[in-house]
Amino acid sequence: MPNLFANLECLTLENPNAGDSDACVIWLHGLGASCNDFANLLPELQLDENASIRFIFPQAPTMPVTVNSGYEMPAWYDLLSLDVNRKFNAEHLSQASAAIADIIERQIAAGIDSTRILIAGFSQGGAVAYDVALNSTKPLAGLMALSTYFATSATCHFAGQNQRLPISVQHGLQDDVVLPELADKAEAILAEHNYDTTSHRYPMAHEVCREQIADISQFIDRCLPVKG
* Residue 171 designated active-site: no
* Residue 123 designated active-site: yes
67 burial (CB, 10 Å; 0-12 / 13-18 / 19+) is: middle
Choosing from 94, 123, 136, 153, which is the catalytic residue?
Answer: 123
Choosing from 102, 199, 206, 217, which is the catalytic residue?
Answer: 206
158: left (phi over 0), alpha (psi -120 to 50) or beta: left
Looking at the annotation, which residues are catalytic? Answer: 123, 175, 206
